[in-house]
Amino acid sequence: MNFIVRTMVAFFAMQFVAAFASANPLHLRCELLENPLGIDTTAPRLSWQSDATERDWRQIAYEILVATKPELLKTGFADIWDSGKVDSGESVGVIYAGPALKSRSR
């Protein structure tokens, strides 16, 4: 009985650590393309992968930042759109919900 209790405590401890592990997004995609030159939709689908190497890691939330310059994103500032924290494990086909995108801008 004591062995089962220790095993269950270890299992829950591992779940707790996995839930709070951090990861960075990789392979950022817009309409299934990495760094596209152009898109032909007003509500593009965004996708990404994680660099997490922990076993049983899973995404539980995301935040999308859209800015006119990469330098703004490095400081955590989004001058176009900030989705805010979204409690979701989705990382494929997330629909852009910010203001209308301007034609011929990058």
Neighbours of 96 (CB within 10 A): 20
pTM listed for this prediction: 0.73
The pLDDT score that the predictor gives to residue 10 is 34
Tokens of 90: 């989705």
User: Do the beta carbons of residue 50 and residue 23 sit within 8 Å?
Assistant: yes
pLDDT exceeds cutoff 70 at 11: no
Rounded to the nearest 10°, the torsion over CA 30, 35, 40, 45 is 0
SS3 64: coil
Domains in the chain (CATH in brackets) are: 23-106 (2.60.40.10)
13-68 tens-digit pLDDT: 333 334 455 789 999 999 999 988 888 888 999 999 999 988 888 999 999 999 98
Neighbours of 58 (CB within 10 A): 12
